[in-house]
Amino acid sequence: MRPHLRDPWETARTAPDRTAVVADDESCTFAELTARADDLAGALRARGVPDGTVLSTDIPTGPRFFALVLAALRHGYGLFPIPPRLLALPEGPALLADVHSALHVTTGAPAPGGPALPCPVVGDDELLASSGTPVPAPAVPPSAGHLVFATSGTTGVPQAVVRTRPVRPYKGVAVAERYGAGPDLGPHLMANPTYHLGTLGPALYALQAGSPVVVQRTWSTAGFVELAERYAADSVFLSPDRLTELVEAGRAPRRPFRVVFHGGGPCPPAVKRAAVDLFGPVLHEYYGTSRSVLTEITTPEWLRKPGSVGRPLPGIRIEVTRDGRVLPPGEAGEIGVRLRAADRGRSEAPVHVTGDVGLLDADGYLFLIGRAGNPQELDAARLEHGIRLLPGVTDAVVLAGPPPLCFVEHGEGDALHDPVPAIEASARQLGLPAPRVVLAASGSLPRTPSGKIRRAGLADVPEAADEGRG
């Protein structure tokens, strides 16, 4: 099937009563969703909010949230989704100031006693009610709106990342068969928070392509399977930790998904092989940053290149460097990316530094190893990568020493082997001092809402109770 452009307004014209978004007891049709999006945009124009202005919102994922997203994309506004827990932190309001948010849109009336924000706050219903006389749409369609995201915050407080605003009017998405979305397909099941590009991207794509979006606001493996079966979901996104939970529980819907997207962090090959056995050859992994998706890999490709996150998407070039030198295939170093012009501002450096460590093989496939901000952390990242390859390990983080401090999550049962001797041997091969190893059950280490182990929170993990030799 050749890609073709589609947007929610087209679905609203051809199938106005088709369900668009479901979240708990809230739902809306495509006709209702697009009408609210247009009304919100008209209310913003009536309020005098200029074209291109960045808005922020903490509206929970659901019909109201997606209406605001579509209003921003089609009518030329920036939108920064920020979760309430992050907004409530002392650093939260500073993130809004960093992106120059001119208006914060919330659900209902602004909560009394909430954090002092650097911009006015308005409820979305209040915004609609105060719009007064309808304002006609601009004679010339505005440039497309854009989304602003926060980083995961694995090493500290999340940072806001402003993406380049497209110069052309919003045209929806190019519907491609490999993404399992379209007006004749079932819903996309959204089981992770929305503030991160990796999670919101697949759901928003599905909605624009004509598929409904079903939101799982409270995570559990049983609830996930129940929603997937009740709504006959065709696609889903899962962060590595939730993919691991489903694998360990052996939980999958009886009706198979067409596509299981996953990403957001390195996935141990053993976990992914088990996920392929559980869901079938439908896993579609991608790697990217808050700026853009960079690589993709299908299950057949991954089985030929286990551990890879794929090859760069068209128009994107990936370089692996060390000490300013581009490395040949097979050597590990810092991952840099030359983004497409549409994703890069005019004043930005030609190469975007990701902070991740990896290597490219001779066929151009990228293998993600970990994170490193300096040469000392490079060997720690290589050790971390090796730990993920050990039997029974479901995730790992290594903090550079001396000595290196290894936090290792593991599964239960007969497959569990003591990983400490192998970790010590790997450290010796890398020329590192004997590491300290902390073993923990899968999913027990502190994590960001996007599912990554939160390195900044590991200082609070009690080591003595479950510390390995070292």
Q: What is the CATH number of domain 4-290?
A: 3.40.50.12780
Give the mean model confidence (pLDDT) for residues 314-339.
89
107/103 Cα distance (integer angstroms): 13
434/431 Cα distance (integer angstroms): 9
Domain over 385-466 is classified CATH 3.30.300.30: yes
Instruction: Give yes or no for residue 470 having a pLDDT over 60.
Output: no
DSSP code for 433? P
pTM of the model: 0.85
Residues of the chain with CATH 3.40.50.12780: 4-290
Long-range contact set of residues 93-99: C-beta below 8 Å, sequence gap at least 24: 93/117, 93/118, 95/150, 95/158, 95/159, 95/160, 96/56, 98/159, 98/160, 99/54, 99/56, 99/148, 99/160, 99/162
pLDDT computed for residue 328 by the predictor: 94
Residues of the chain with CATH 3.30.300.30: 385-466
Name the 3-class secondary structure at 80.
Answer: strand
pLDDT in tens, 278-309: 999 999 999 987 677 899 999 999 999 999 99
pLDDT computed for residue 50 by the predictor: 93
174 contacts: CB under 8 Å, gap ≥ 6: 3, 4, 5
Q: Say if residues 308 and 366 touch (Cβ distance below 8 Å).
A: yes
